[in-house]
Structure formats: structure tokens, C-alpha cells
Structure 1
Amino acid sequence: MSSPTLLITDGPGGPTPPWYLPRLCPHYDVHVLWHHGPDPAVNEQRRRTFDAWCTHTVVPEGAELTDFTVEYAKQHAADGIVAFSEIPVVAAHTAAAALSLPGNPPESLPALRNKLQQRARLQAAGVPVPRFAEVRTAEEFRRARREVGLPAVLKPVVGAGSMATHAVDTDDEADGIWARACEAYLNDPRGGTRPAFILEQRLIGSSWYPDPRYGDHISVESLVRRGEITHLAVTDKFPLSPPFRENGGMLPSVLPPDRIQEIEACATAAVRALGLTNSAVHTEFKLTGAGPMVIEVNCRIGGGAAEMLHHSAGYDFVQATAAVATGGPLPVAPEPHRYAGRLIPQPPDHAVVLTRVPSAPEVLAVSGAQEVVLPHRVGARLSPERGSTNYLAAAIAVADHPENLLDCFDRLTAPGLFTFDRSEERAAG
């Protein structure tokens, strides 16, 4: 009996090819669509990885990804289409809908990439969200500040990883914030050709944890199959770095069962409000004194959650996602037996040049983590405008007690492990 044909639209973020290919290729006829990046050496390494495992095709420059995916899927009689990255995930679901393959319905898809539409749908369904207003010009920004109130948060309508996101505290600083946000948006490949932002009420967080090393936000990782929702895990978070950059998280949550039930009930309401039927779902919340407030819903798993579920519960998320996409049997829901964390410490909240980057063995020895990726070299220029994806390191840590993971993060962010220079003249890129 032949294996189902699974088409993967690859992109940055989410489980990487070395993670998902060994888990999927023994069970599926895997085909990967991917894009060349600016670094020829990286492109060659990716090509060798794909050559070793599966059939793959580079999406031609300028090609519309949805159309290309639909035609490729037709030619190869794909049984399912998946994307683990936030960048191509809506195109993957759009292509699946066009071919009547399992995925989210077409009417749900615009709100998955457009924060303004998503806020409106959630609000209409009674799901708690902050006040918000659309912002495309400096004049609209002034009007939105009156409607939404200050403090507030300015963020792109379509964006990822907290790029071009700014806190707005006073009207005096607003003109400078608007100029910087527009510049960052236009210069980032995840942005667009014209500024498109949303101004949101700044939510006041509440401490739901006895240990201050936890943040005041949280996420829920879920799977939806034929409209049935399974919540896989609730992920606790480390406090944000200014302005709104994530430092990672850990699961399973240490919150008491009644709090977990409250958060999961809100996640279920958000999934229903957006009409999601077949996908992974990552729902982010702010923890407030009035309860959890939805920050964002995405039809993919949260960063590092696949690895954390594997280490914490032996759960294979990529196989579960493939099962949803092809209509196959789902793995049994996870039962965690350990705590796992993904630690992504951020650089300072101003432009810096890296002057010291530790070796991977040094990071592992100092922090106690099990795996680490160091994405930058000495001389690299890092800017908070690029958001959470501009992290210093991405480490996976596993422990029998959550306090051990908090300690691991403390050691990873200790002064001197990474060092910086504010001088931009030495920037190497």
C-alpha cells in the first residue's frame, strides 16, 4: 500500500527540516516547497538536507505561493498540505481549501494573518480582546490614540515575531514612534510596501504566579480536527524584554487546574469565533486581573512547542499535524512527565554590535541546557526593531522541576556570557 503524499510549504520558524523530515518521511511520500534565501551556503546546506530525505522544489522568485502550491499539489496528487512556519501557513491552507483537502475554511483565513480582522471577529463573538483601531497614516495614528487611549501598543496588521512593535505612552513621543515603526516595517521582508498598523490598548498584566521569574502572558497549543479541539499544552512564559520581545517559555504550565481550565475555555472560544476546523492553533493571552485576554491566534504551533512536547511528553506534533492534514489517525493526547523549556534570550533594547558570543559547549555547560543554536557571530548588529526573532540563542532545556528551568534561564542571561557595543560603526550585518 502506497504512503499518503504530503506536501510541505517550508519557511522560517517552527520545526526545522532536520526535525520534521525524519519524523514524516518514513510514513509519507514527502514533497517540500521552499525558497532560496540570500546566503548561497545556507541554500546549499538546505538543498543537501532535502536531497537526503525527500522530493523538493524551489519556488521560483516572484511566483505566487498559493497558486504554485495548488498546481504542484495537483500534479503530484497530494493528500494533504501543511506548513509549520507562520509565513507560508495561510497560503498552505488556502491551497488546501482550493483542492478540497483538510484545512481551515476560506472564510477563516483572512483573520489568521490580519490582526485587525481577527480582533473584529473575536470581539463580535464576545471573546475578550483589548480596544483597537486601524492605523495607516500619521493622522489616523493621532485619531486612534484618542479612541483607544494611552498607554497603547502599535504593531503591524500583518507581521510576525513582534517586529516593528512599539509601546506608546505619551503623545509627545508619538511622532518619533510612528516614523521608526514605518521605517522598520518597510525595511523588514515580513512587512509590506505601505504602512498598515493596529493600535491596541496596553493591557495591564497581573501576576498569576508566586515566582516573579514568570511573565504575565501565556499561550495554548492546540489541534483542531474536523472541528474538534484538543488542547495539547499551556505554555508559561518568561517576562518580555522591552518593548515586547519574547524570551521563550516552558511547559506544562505550573498554574493550578482552575486557572488552566479558564485559559483553555477562552482558547476554545477564540477557535470557534474564527471558524477554524483543521489545523494546529497557537493562542496567546495576557493574564489580567479580569482574566485571560486574547492577544493573538495563529494556525500553527508556537515557537519551540514541538520540541518541548517531545521532551516533556514524548508527543510527536509534526506527525499529529500531518494526520490532521491527510485525515489519518491522531496520536494520543500528550501526558507530560517532565518539564521542558525553549529559552531565547534577547539582546538589549537598543541597537548593538555583538562583541562576544560564547561557544555552544560553553552555553550548554553554563546554562545546563541540552541543545542550543547560536544564530549570530561577533560583529553582528542586532536591533529590537526586528522583534523576538533577533534572539541571542535558542536553547532547549529539560528538567524534573520547573525551578530548574528558571535557573537555567538566569544562567543563560547572566552578564558577560554575551557582550555588546553600542557603536554601530563596527556593525558587520
Structure 2
Amino acid sequence: MDTVLFVHAKGGPPLGYALSRVAARSAVHLLALSTLPSAVAASADRACASVTTADGPERGDLVSLIVTRAREVGADAVVTFSEYAVVAVAEASEKLGLPGAGSSCALARDKRLMRRVWSERGISQPRFRPVADEQDLRDAAAALRLPLLLKAAWSAGSTAHRIIRSADEVPAAWRRAREVMAESAVLGYAELHVADAGADFLVEEIVPGTAEGWFDQPGWGDYVSVEGVVADGVFHPVCLSGRMPTVEPFTERAGITPAALPADAQQRVVALAREAVDALGLENCGTHTEIKLGADGHMWVIETAARFGGAMTVPQIEEVFGLDLIGMLVDHLLGRPVTWPEEARTPEQARGAAGSFVVLAVDGAGDAWPDRRRWDFPAVRDAVPLSAGSRLSVVAENSLPDGTPVPEYDPAAGANTMAALCLLSADAPETVLHDFRTLVDALPRVLPRVETMEARS
């Protein structure tokens, strides 16, 4: 039987879901670079031939650790679905002579390198500058058009994003962004292979996005993501995911599969995503490409990752299109025949729709809730009036226990301040969007209050 070394770290699809798909294709040995979620620890022991944890100083040289463990277990492939481990796994696979994302994987991780390649190719993107210190940021603020978005070059989940509307805001933005990257590293949301990656930043112009003219229904966000796969160097688009509007600065609140775009618009979006992915020279990996939508058909590539979309993107694709992307990629890496999509699936080909919803303590306008609330999924499930036939569930391993106070939303920390992740299944993407808007409005009413003294403490 073929053997796979699964390198787990924070982020990516839920571990329980991903692990079950890998284990269905091969014997699997788990190398955990972060503590396993309590909700899946027991099932991991049952599903895996071995579970090895290296979440502290013993991790050392990560590439060497992965190579050594892969040789010990006789791995025929090495996989990860975490943003923070993709470069290390790609380099380890190269050393082992196994298929993987390839030597250019860092181009799909370091946003500075990514943007430089796209600039050389003339691919549409926001104007940007790398920044290494506060003076670099001051110089960029003088040279680029305000407002600007400061972001960490190796971050994910909108962590350390700061909007700069005037030059006076540069010192505070620089200080807070660096603080958040340090805080994220403590939580395990940080690059695991590149030393001092938390000090690398870039700043970009905020392009004028709009969903108007792209979607027939109001309420959609002004960007989409193209989910795909690169197999033997060839990009295969799978489908498009839509969004609700982000929470300031640009924190994602919800992803919806499929995006309800007309066919001609979807084709144009996919064509731009193909340019962006092809420019990076990836070999064998999932891809997740975010594209900003503008007026009069304008588009800008925001970023690409050499891994599948996070949260519930991959489970959503399996639910609505019947494609087990993780299982298919494992089969491909093991040399088995796989029929990849030649064109992105459309809403007309979907079996209903599904969406993932991040619980943040802000209302539909992005304003903080008037008082503190406790996360309580049964209260949400029983009290929020969803559409007929819609089904809401909670992703336990990505959610706080019921009764836990919902964290106050911190714009700089982004998704680090989420309370829970929910999955909703419905008959159409428009229904998912409607139900998510209902959920946003209902949460600060139906969740139980945190007592005043507790809130103060």
C-alpha cells in the first residue's frame, strides 16, 4: 500500500476532513507541527499509522525534519494543506525526489516575490512596494496613491492588514502590524520555514472594487477566488467562490461556492487567474487565486497560494460539485490517473450551494456589537430564521466551545479574533448569501450576553 506523510500545521481545510480523505487513499503518517485540535485528536490516532508531534524547539530545521520522517516511514508522497508549511514541504519533496509544488513554491507564498513576477509579466494587479522598515513605508506613502493597504508578506487570513489613509498614520500602522505578526506567531499562525518572515511587508494601493455589474443579486463582495490545481505544470481551474463584503480592513466574513457569476464573466476571471498561476511556475499543488472586481469589467489579481482554499472551501466543493480535491491530489502525487477539470465548473453544474461563515463580533456595517456575547451554537441554530431547506452546522475544530465569550474584533488581527466557523448548505448561492446576511443581523441578538462584571474583567 502507498504511504503518505501528512504535514499538519495551522490553517487550511479542517484537519479531520483532510485526514479522512488522505487516509482513504493510502497509509498515512501524521507529522504535526502544531497541537492537534482536541475534536480530532482521537480520530487521528485511529486513522494514522503513526502520529508524531514536533511543535516546539525540537522542530529545528523543518525541511530536514520532514525529509528524515518521510524516509523513516517510506513515504511515496508528502502533503500539507497549510499555508505556513507549503514552502518547507515543497523543498523537502524536491530533496526526496517526490512530486510537489516545485522549486518556485516561494513565489506563491512571499507576496513581494509574487507581485514582482506579475509585474514583470504585465499582469493586472494593484501598484505596490516592498517595505522593510518604517522609512520604506513613509517613502511608499509619498509615492503611491492613498489610501494604502499594509500587509505582511507571509501572512494569511488578513492578519496584520492596516489601512493607511494619510502619511500621519504610518508610524502607528507599522508598529501595530509588527505587533500582530508577533502575536500570530505565538498562536501558530506564522510561516514555519523562513526565518524572520514576520518582519517582511509590502504596501499596495487600494483599488476601487465593486460587485455592481458582476452579480445580478446585491450583497456580494467585490472579489472572488478561483479554486484550482496545478498537475504536472498545467493549471486546471475547478470553480469560483464568491464572498460577502469584507470587514475593515479586509477580513473575510464568508465564502460561498459557487460564485453566482454569469458564464462570460466567469470565463474572463478564470483567464486572468490562469495568467497569474502560470507565471509562478508551480508543478503539483492546489491553488487558490483571489481576484478583485472593478467597474467596467476591470480586474486585479490580489494573490495566489500554492494550496487549496482554507476554511471550508474544499468541503464545499465536494458537496456541490462532487470533487474530492484532496483525494484527487493524493492520487496524482502517488502516480495514479486522475481526470482533472478542463474548465471551471459553473453554478448550473452545481448541486445546490454551500458556504462557510466566520463569526466576528461586528454587524453588517462592520461596527462592533454594542455588548459582549457568548458563543452558543444551539442558540444560533434554534433562533435564526434561515430559508426553507437550508442547513447550518458548526465546524467544531475551528470554533470556540459553547459558552466562551466572543472575542472583540481587532481589525489588525483579522481572522485571529473569530469565535466560530459555520457551514451552511442551501439550494442556491443566492440563498446562502441571503441566509448569511440574516445570520449577521441576528447574532448580536440571539447569543447570550456576557455579564457586565465578566466583560470588565
1:149 aligned to 145, 149, 157, which one? 145
Instruction: Tell me, in whole angstroms, the C-alpha distance in 1 between the residues paired with 2:355 and 2:406.
Output: 26
Residue 26 (structure 1) shift: 3.2
* CA separation of 1:72 and 1:183: change in aligned 2, threshold 3 A: same
* Residue of structure 1 equivalent to 2:184: 188
Show the counterpart of 1:66. Answer: 63
Structure 1 residues 169 and 210, CA gap change in structure 2 (3 angstroms): farther
TM-score by length of 1: 0.90
Q: Corresponding residue for 1:97?
A: 94
| Structure 2 counterpart of 1:375 | 400
Determine the structure 1 residue equivalent to 2:270. Answer: 264
In 2, Cα distance between the equivalents of 1:180 and 1:35?
27
Cα shift at 1:144: 0.8
Pick closer, same or farther for the CA change 1:212–1:422 going to 2, 3 Å. Answer: farther
Among candidates 22, 29, 52, match of residue 57 of structure 1: 52
Q: 1:331: Cα distance to partner? A: 5.1
Give the Å deviation of 1:343: 1.5
Alpha-carbon separation, structure 2, partners of 1:180 and 1:155? 11
The 5-angstrom pairing of residues 77-88 of structure 1 reads: 77-88=74-85
Question: For 1:194 and 1:332, how far apart are their aligned partners in 2?
Answer: 36
* Counterparts of 2:232 and 2:198, CA distance in 1: 37
Q: Which moved more, 1:3-12 or 1:179-188?
A: 179-188
Aligned to 1:323: 331
User: Given the alignment of the two structures, is residue 416 of structure 1 paired with residue 445 of structure 2, yes or no?
Assistant: yes
User: Which one-letter code corresponds to 1:175 in the other structure?
Assistant: P
2:110 and 2:18 mapped to 1: Cα distance?
A: 28
Decide which moves more: 266-275 or 414-423: 414-423
CA distance in 2, matches of 1:332, 1:30: 23
Distance 2:201 2:98 in 1: 33
Structure 2 unmatched ranges of 5 or more: 191-195
In 2, the alpha carbon distance for the partners of 1:353 and 1:36 equals 35
CA gap of 1:164–1:351, structure 2 versus 1, over 3 A, is farther
User: C-alpha displacement at 1:375, in angstroms?
Assistant: 2.2
- 2:453 and 2:333 map into 1 onto residues whose CA distance is 46
Q: Tell me the residue number matched to 2:208.
A: 204
Task: Confirm whether residue 355 of structure 1 aligns to residue 372 of structure 2.
Answer: yes
Q: 1:340 — aligned with what?
A: 354
Residue 254 of structure 2 is aligned with which of 218, 225, 248?
248
Q: Aligned pair in 2 of structure 1 residues 379, 391: CA closer, same or farther (>3 Å)?
A: closer
Give the aligned partner of residue 193 of structure 2.
Answer: none
Aligned residues: 421
Cα distance, 1:418 vs structure 2: 4.2
Residue type at the aligned position of 2:5: L
Q: CA deviation at 1:421?
A: 7.9
Aligned residue number for residue 172 of structure 1: 168
TM-score with structure 2 length normalisation?
A: 0.85
How many angstroms does 1:197 deviate by?
A: 1.3
In structure 1, runs of 5+ residues without a counterpart are none
Stretch of structure 1 that moved more, 169-178 or 310-319: 169-178
Distance 1:223 1:332, change over 3 A: closer
Whole-angstrom distance in 2 between the partners of 1:72 and 1:136: 35
Q: Percent identity?
A: 29
Distance in 2, Cα, partners of 1:381 & 1:155: 22
The amino acid of 1:307's aligned partner reads P
C-alpha distance in 2, partners of 1:94/1:235? 29
Most deviating of 213-222 and 317-326:
317-326
- What is the distance in 2 between the residues matched to 1:202 and 1:195? 22
Q: Which one is further off, 184-193 or 314-323?
A: 184-193
